[in-house]
């Protein structure tokens, strides 16, 4: 084993300035996270409490084992839109009766817990995480169903919510619904498609159509209780498996259900782990606010992996990508980390070989992003940069071991793809507040547009005014800069959350533990392997 040394001078002006910039970004992030915690605001919180009800996060807290962590996912969903930050639903991974579960809880203080397009994307992402990592799914239901004004964006894709539930069940992944309040219309299929259903006397209301709708449809006079009350479902329709007396009782029953699942993780156990030899606190000062300044990812790894031990693969070849083997909270990982930004042919070939090695040894991969993309220019095109980049992207696409991605700095262009960006299905993807991701950097993008516009004007014989060009470039740069920030991308659910760099080891440890609920097996050359590599 090689122990990493770290040359970072934590007293230097540069380190202190980097840490200060990161702290400022974290403070901005805290303010946005607070909006998610505030839910529908004071008025609706108070009304909810007056009704004797617990808030979504309080329900989750009671459901979890004492002192168990909760890895909340996508808390900034819907940021930058007209909808409340958090998208009226809380999702995350927590331990219930000793079992890691995926929990989805409607926030009834935001528009009655109705699902808008962002809530839908967030809960579909949660279901995907449950499926690929084999996590029992617990729905804490209290929702007005579809957000009616935006029904066109949710009705048709939203059908997947119910299909997912039954497909999870078909794969032997348990699904549990604890119904705290309303679960009407489409929402009725949440308990309807779940393996285990708990309802609360005088609280749960589950019907396809409430009294007004029934009156309209058939003329029948009815009331909430006879159409969809908990007592009725427990005694008459049989939709409720358990009748709880109140919210705490429902949570207790939910915990009992999980304790009887006879759940076993299918991935290998971790070995005993030791902390890194360098303080995680120091991760604050490594990434410079100006991403043009390079930083050594080994300085990050020294503060991330067990014992700061890292055996580097091909350290002398393709040196702007660092590859190597480590452990994280006792789980083996292969690491691919950008060092000087640009990916050349050598880096692509090295990455491809390394990804294949990880698949041969069933080792999960961790991608640490700080790349401006693949190298452009005549020399590189003639040297085959397209086919070499394609080779790396092929390897990432067809690799079967679990992938984790962390955007530390830049993640631009096809480099984002080669490093297992969101479209490449990493099991989890998080960003640091310092990250930026877009098709290319804002200045480059504005410059390209300017060159294209100038040439088009020339071809038309039209005048090209320099002041207009400067104004256009400034506007485009500002737009692309804003759209490449992690808070914006998190709002669009392109990551699973923006995290404090100091929490990275803990977050990745929780993810690796969750991942190991499913078997871990790499791709082989037996027909289930990689596509055709262009050499
Ligand atoms: N779509 C859009 N907005 C909705 C909504 C929905 N499905 N359900 C509730 N809201 C809004 C309400 O208009 C209200 O907005 P406002 O405070 O800005 O006026 C807010 O959410 C709170 O609703 P309110 O009815 O005051 O809350 P409640 O806790 O007393 O009741 C429900 C909650 C869910 C029982 C009730 O709102 C309801 O029955 N909603 C419609 C349910 C339905 O039939 N959905 C069809 C789904 S396919």
**Band of the pLDDT at 534, cuts 50, 70, 90?**
confident
The residue whose CA has the least distance to atom 40 of ligand 1 is: 144
> Average pLDDT for residues 415-443, to the nearest whole number?
96
pLDDT tens per residue, range 295-335: 999 999 999 999 999 999 999 999 999 999 999 999 999 99
The residue whose CA has the least distance to atom 19 of ligand 1 is: 111
**Helices 466-483 and 442-460, packing angle to 10 deg:** 150
> Which atom belonging to ligand 1 lies closest to the Cα atom of 143?
34
Nearest-angstrom CA–CA distance, 419 and 336: 8
* CA separation, residue 97 to residues 107, 115, 183, 244 (Å): 23, 29, 26, 18
pLDDT on residue 68: 95
Q: How far is the CA of 178 from the centre of ligand 1 (A)?
A: 20
Q: How far is the CA of 32 from the centre of ligand 1 (A)?
A: 25
pLDDT tens per residue, range 139-157: 999 999 999 999 999 999 9
Structure token digits, residue 237: 């329709």
pLDDT on residue 334: 98
> Which atom belonging to ligand 1 lies closest to the Cα atom of 51?
29
Q: How far is the CA of 44 from the centre of ligand 1 (A)?
A: 12
Q: How far is the CA of 113 from the centre of ligand 1 (A)?
A: 8
Nearest-angstrom CA–CA distance, 433 and 25: 6
Q: How far is the CA of 114 from the centre of ligand 1 (A)?
A: 7
pLDDT at residue 272 greater than cutoff 90: yes
pLDDT tens per residue, range 305-316: 999 999 999 999
pLDDT tens per residue, range 351-402: 999 999 999 999 999 999 999 999 999 999 999 999 999 999 999 999 999 9
CB-defined site of ligand 1, < 6 Å: 111-112, 114, 144-148, 182, 184-186
Nearest-angstrom CA–CA distance, 424 and 418: 9
End-to-end CA distance of the chain: 32
> Average pLDDT for residues 200-221, to the nearest whole number?
93
pLDDT on residue 525: 63
The residue whose CA has the least distance to atom 13 of ligand 1 is: 111
Q: Which residues contact 403 (CB under 8 A, 6 or more apart)?
A: 364, 365, 366, 367, 396, 420, 424, 425, 426, 427
- The predicted model scores a pTM of 0.95
The per-residue pLDDT of the chain, averaged, comes to: 96
Q: How far is the CA of 112 from the centre of ligand 1 (A)?
A: 5
- Give long-range contacts, CB 8 A cutoff, 24+ apart: 266-269: 266/134, 266/516, 266/517, 266/518, 266/519, 267/515, 267/516, 267/517, 267/518, 267/519, 267/520, 268/516, 268/520, 269/516
pLDDT on residue 125: 98
In terms of DSSP H, where are the helices of 144-206? 151-158, 160-170, 189-192
**Band of the pLDDT at 527, cuts 50, 70, 90?**
low
Check if the beta carbon of residue 317 is closer than 8 Å to that of residue 357. Answer: no
Q: What is the largest CA-CA distance in the chain?
A: 81
Nearest-angstrom CA–CA distance, 83 and 309: 45
Q: How far is the CA of 229 from the centre of ligand 1 (A)?
A: 18
pLDDT tens per residue, range 33-62: 999 999 999 999 999 999 999 999 999 999
pLDDT on residue 528: 65
265 CB neighbour count, 10 Å cutoff: 16
The residue whose CA has the least distance to atom 29 of ligand 1 is: 112
> Which atom belonging to ligand 1 lies closest to the Cα atom of 181?
35
> Average pLDDT for residues 497-521, to the nearest whole number?
98
* CA separation, residue 154 to residues 67, 130, 257, 482, 491 (Å): 36, 21, 31, 27, 17
pLDDT at residue 480 greater than cutoff 90: yes
The residue whose CA has the least distance to atom 34 of ligand 1 is: 144
pLDDT on residue 434: 97
**Helices 160-170 and 151-158, packing angle to 10 deg:** 20
Local structure of residue 75 (DSSP, 8 states):
T
In terms of DSSP H, where are the helices of 193-277? 211-218, 224-228, 230-232, 247-259
Nearest-angstrom CA–CA distance, 222 and 75: 40
In this structure, are strands 403-412 and 365-371 parallel, antiparallel, or unpaired?
parallel
* Best mutation site among 44, 112, 151, 152 for ligand 1 pocket (most ligand atoms within 8 Å of CB): 112
Check if the beta carbon of residue 335 is closer than 8 Å to that of residue 314. Answer: no
The residue whose CA has the least distance to atom 41 of ligand 1 is: 144
How large a percentage of the chain has pLDDT more than 70?
99
The residue whose CA has the least distance to atom 38 of ligand 1 is: 144
In this structure, are strands 403-412 and 436-438 parallel, antiparallel, or unpaired?
parallel
In this structure, the chain runs to a length of 535
pLDDT on residue 526: 63
What is the residue whose two structure tokens read 């959350």? 497
């Amino acid at each position: 084993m090689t122990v990493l040394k770290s040359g970072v001078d934590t007293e230097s002006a540069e380190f202190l300035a980097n840490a200060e910039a990161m702290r400022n970004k974290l403070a901005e992030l805290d303010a946005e996270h607070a909006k998610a915690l505030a839910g529908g605001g004071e008025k609706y919180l108070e009304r909810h409490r007056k009704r004797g009800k617990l808030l979504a996060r309080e329900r989750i807290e009671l459901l979890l084992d004492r002192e168990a962590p909760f890895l909340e996912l996508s808390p900034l969903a819907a940021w930058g839109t007209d909808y409340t930050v958090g998208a009226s639903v809380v999702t995350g991974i927590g331990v219930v009766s000793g079992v890691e579960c995926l929990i989805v809880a409607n926030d009834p203080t935001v528009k009655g817990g109705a699902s808008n397009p962002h809530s839908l994307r967030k809960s579909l992402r949660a279901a995907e995480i449950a499926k690929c990592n084999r996590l029992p799914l617990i729905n804490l239901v209290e929702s007005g169903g579809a957000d009616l004004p935006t029904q066109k964006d949710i009705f048709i894709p939203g059908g997947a919510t119910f299909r997912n539930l039954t497909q999870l069940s078909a794969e032997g992944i348990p699904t549990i619904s604890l119904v705290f309040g309303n679960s009407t219309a489409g929402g009725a299929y949440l308990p309807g498609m779940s393996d285990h259903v708990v309802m609360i006397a005088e609280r749960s209301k589950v019907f396809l159509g409430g009294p007004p709708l029934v009156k309209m449809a058939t003329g029948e006079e009815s009331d909430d209780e006879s159409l969809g009350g908990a007592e009725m479902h427990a005694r008459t329709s049989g939709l409720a498996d358990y009748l709880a007396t109140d919210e705490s009782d429902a949570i207790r029953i939910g915990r009992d259900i999980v304790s009887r699942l006879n759940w076993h993780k299918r991935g290998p156990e971790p070995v005993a782990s030791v902390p890194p030899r360098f303080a995680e606190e120091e991760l604050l000062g490594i990434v410079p606010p100006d991403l043009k300044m390079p930083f050594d990812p080994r300085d990050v790894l020294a503060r991330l992996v067990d014992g700061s031990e890292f055996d580097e693969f091909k350290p002398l070849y393709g040196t702007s990508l660092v590859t190597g083997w480590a452990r994280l909270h006792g789980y083996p990982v292969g690491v691919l980390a950008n060092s000087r930004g640009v990916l050349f042919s050598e880096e692509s070939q090295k990455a491809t070989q390394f990804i294949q090695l990880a698949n041969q040894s069933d080792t999960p991969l961790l991608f640490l992003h700080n790349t401006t993309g693949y190298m452009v220019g005549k020399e590189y095109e003639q040297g085959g940069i397209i086919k070499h980049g394609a080779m790396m992207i092929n390897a990432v696409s067809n690799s079967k071991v679990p992938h984790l991605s962390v955007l530390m700095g830049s993640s631009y262009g096809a480099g984002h793809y080669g490093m297992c960006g969101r479209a490449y299905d990493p099991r989890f993807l998080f960003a640091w507040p310092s990250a930026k991701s877009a098709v290319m950097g804002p200045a480059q993008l504005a410059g390209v547009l300017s060159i294209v516009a100038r040439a088009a004007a020339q071809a038309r014989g039209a005048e090209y005014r320099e002041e207009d060009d400067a104004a256009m470039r400034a506007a485009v740069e500002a737009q692309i800069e804003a759209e490449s920030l992690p808070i914006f991308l998190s709002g669009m659910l392109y990551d699973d959350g923006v995290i404090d760099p100091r929490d990275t080891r803990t977050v990745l440890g929780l993810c690796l533990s969750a991942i190991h609920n499913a078997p871990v097996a790499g791709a082989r050359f037996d027909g289930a392997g990689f596509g055709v590599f262009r050499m």
